[in-house]
Amino acid sequence: MEFNHISVLKDESISGLNIHPDGVYVDCTTGGGGHSLEIAKRLTSGKLICIDKDTDALKKAKQVLKEHAKKIIFVNDNFANLDDILAEQKIDKVDGILADLGVSSYQLDEASRGFSFMRNSRLDMRMDKAQSLDAYEVINTYPENQLAQIMFDYGEERNARQIARKIVKRRELKPIETTFELRDIIKDSYPPKFQNKTTLPNKAFQAIRIEVNNELNDLPIAVEKMLSALNKNGRLCIITFHPLEDRIVKNKFKLHSTDCICPPRIPKCVCNHHADIKLITRHPIVPTESEQSANSRSTSAKLRIAEKL
């Protein structure tokens, strides 16, 4: 299947990076290469490091970016390992970092990847196909309470307990193997009047994907490493698609842009904490109505930008 992906908030994030032609930049989530291409176009003697843990994504990105190959270093890894990646390339600091935390359209649309309840395939959902944990293992081995907690916390699924109970009951008869089997179990856990709603399984599928790929646990570590890797005046642009992701980024940015973090009851500062970034976006940038109309998957996107002091 062709790797098609529409880059969300492309103009806003590229503008936010404030690219210098001789700078060093990192695209932490290269995907189909849409954002990376716009960065590479603006570089002359500069360098771009393209990171993705999905080998299919990097393969496609190399095609998209072939005209700029001399400027680019491709790395198949998790962006949570950014410090090690830069050390291996003998790069101390960079001038800008972009992270688009969305799942690519290719991953959603390619049936064999098992991300979508709209296409029938084996339960998988791994962004990194080399890792062992997949959706099949989560669905068929996690205890009922853990499944319910994942769907409630990561998917904000109000019906999480009922869905988890149905999953466990069904897998006692035989393993749950496909996306359609899981989709039908989720629908069956709702009263009949809701079962025709097309997007009903969306929250539970999203939650399982987040668990499989350890997305929310990796993010706080990754943001710290991104901020640490920036040169003075370097920019960090992060695009989130999930309220919990956005909260993590917002709180990290708030912490790093604040001087004293002592509790209000303490009359004199004793924390010696100093801001090391300034916020470029006090409030997140969201897609325009025209972008949301053209790409429905952009509707929940939020872009936050910070600059190193």
Residue 179 lies in a domain: yes
- Residue 285 phi/psi, 5-degree rounding, is -85, 135
User: Would you give the distance in Å from CA 230 to the centre of its chain?
Assistant: 20
Please state the domain count of the chain.
Answer: 2
CATH number, residue 156: 1.10.150.170
| pLDDT one-digit tens code per residue, 19-40 | 999 999 999 999 889 999 999 9
- Tell me, what's the pLDDT at 191? 85
Residues 255 and 304 in one domain: yes
Domain boundary (197, 213, 229) is at: 213
- Would you say residue 6 has pLDDT above 90? no
- Tell me, what's the pLDDT at 181? 96
Residue 108 lies in a domain: no
Give strand pairing partners of 277. Answer: 308
- Tell me, what's the pLDDT at 15? 96
How far apart are the C-alpha atoms of 65 and 49, rounded to whole Å?
Answer: 12
Residue 265 neighbours by CB distance under 10 Å: 5
How far apart are the C-alpha atoms of 254 and 144, rounded to whole Å?
Answer: 36
How far apart are the C-alpha atoms of 99 and 78, rounded to whole Å?
Answer: 12
Q: Which domain holds residue 33?
A: 10-100+215-308
Residues 262 and 299 in one domain: yes
| pLDDT one-digit tens code per residue, 202-254 | 899 999 999 999 989 889 999 999 999 999 999 999 999 989 999 999 999 99
- Would you say residue 2 has pLDDT above 60? no
CATH number, residue 235: 3.40.50.150
| pLDDT one-digit tens code per residue, 36-87 | 999 999 999 999 999 999 888 899 899 999 999 999 999 999 999 999 999 9
Task: Please report which confidence band the pLDDT of residue 166 belongs to, taking 50, 70 and 90 as the band edges.
Answer: very high
- Tell me, what's the pLDDT at 1? 44
Across the beta sheet with 47-52, the strand order is 72-76, 47-52, 24-27, 94-100, 230-240, 302-308, 277-279
Taking residues 124-150, report their average pLDDT.
95
How far apart are the C-alpha atoms of 75 and 111, rounded to whole Å?
Answer: 25
**pLDDT > 70 in the chain, percent:** 95
Domain boundary (164, 184, 213) is at: 213
Residues 192 and 56 in one domain: no
Residue 91 lies in a domain: yes
- Would you say residue 258 has pLDDT above 50? yes
How far apart are the C-alpha atoms of 20 and 22, rounded to whole Å?
Answer: 6
- Would you say residue 286 has pLDDT above 80? yes
- Tell me, what's the pLDDT at 5? 59
